[in-house]
Structure 1
Amino acid sequence: MTTPRILVVDDDPELRSLIGNFLAGNGLDVEEASDGPSMDLALSHRRFDAIILDLMMPGEDGLAILRRLRGPERPKIIMLSAMGEDTDRIVGLEVGADDYLAKPCNPRELLARVRAVLRRNDGEPAMPALRCFGPWKLDMVERRLQRGDAPPAPLTGAEFRLLITFLDRPRRVLTRDQLVELAMGTDSDVFDRAVDVVISRLRKKLGPDDPIHTVRGEGYRFVLKAARP
């Protein structure tokens, strides 16, 4: 089994070194980068399993970097930010982060989060490249959703995981807490309203007659209309 490779991207050299040394001391292969260009250079030379990415950096900030890191081969990304507001956490997850921690964070908690995001795909059976439901087609590799002949819409990581959660549990009423646990993992620190924001954006991408139904006071249910004879 190969040692997971982690890239720590932060403009604070002291904090970057502290995180890097702690993770390396716990069996991970760690490299450091101070900004977007040095991160790009590291990524051009090696493949990384996860990136610990600071939100507030001079020049290109963490959200801008996150937006351009796309594709199925992208490393897992854990955002770090001194701004611990709910809105910042929601935006980070919406743009595609796999997890989010507010600074200052406990290094042991960060290590646990890193291990958790690395475990998420371990042991999962191979998924079909295309998943069809009703008039929609979901590209499982590119994470793009298409309705009929309309142009495909890219999904964020949170939108993709929520849609898969609904597809795997049709007609079941799922509470917000269940959606957080099933789609984000029990280690995620997502709040209820973050789920509402992701679902609202997913509904817009599904378009007319989207199958996500609100069950007042309970949660959401995914119900496809019966096909016409």
Structure 2
Amino acid sequence: MSFSSEWEDIYAAGAHHSVWPWSELISLIMRHAAPYKSQTPCRVLEIGCGVGANIPLVHWFGGEFWGIDNSSSALESIKSRFGKKVKLAQADFCAEIPFAGPFDLVIDRASLTHNPTLGIQHSLEMIEERLAPGGIFVGVHWFSKDSDDFTRGIPSEYPDVRKGYKDGPFAEVGLVHFFDRDKIESLFSNFTIEVLDHVVSESYTPKPERLAWWNIVAKKK
């Protein structure tokens, strides 16, 4: 439906092989999902799990991990490190989520943001169906229109989606979706948004650059 084949090429080449959990994701999970308080192991699904950077976090708080990604190279990397300690599926998560759930927590670190709006909408509908009552979605690094990169990319056939980056963090990654507040609130209209943070980072050396992104915590109603 919307998977960019560029990501298989990236992972196969050994790029984007992050193996440490993302600090913003850790903070939001521990503050708002509180998996350590659960009487049973927290069931966690990651959308676009890549090479498994967030698996150590899930295992640290005693959770059970399910991951979905459409890159066979990324999933093979996870299998070589974690074996049967995790459950994985290769699929386009904007078209299907092969796991039935229910999940207590669904996480996404800058994976859904590389898809068109309709694909994101469909994925969020599937996520909502698979979340347990009161389950939590935590998404970080949903790119903001306030980023300089929004104006640097080539407009695609999809509104608010850019492509064609030849350098920088988005080089050769295919589609990059940028959001404003209204669009995020519309996408999550079936959830209760508990946290919506707009983070802006400006650097001056070695070159002036403005980065901006959204972090989201949403609860199933």
TM-score by length of 1: 0.30
Hey, which of these two has a bigger chunk of strand by percent?
2
TM-score by length of 2: 0.31
* Larger-gyration structure (1/2): 1
The structure, 1 or 2, with the larger RCO (C-alpha pairs under 8 Å, 6+ apart) is: 2
Hey, which of these two has a bigger chunk of helix by percent?
1
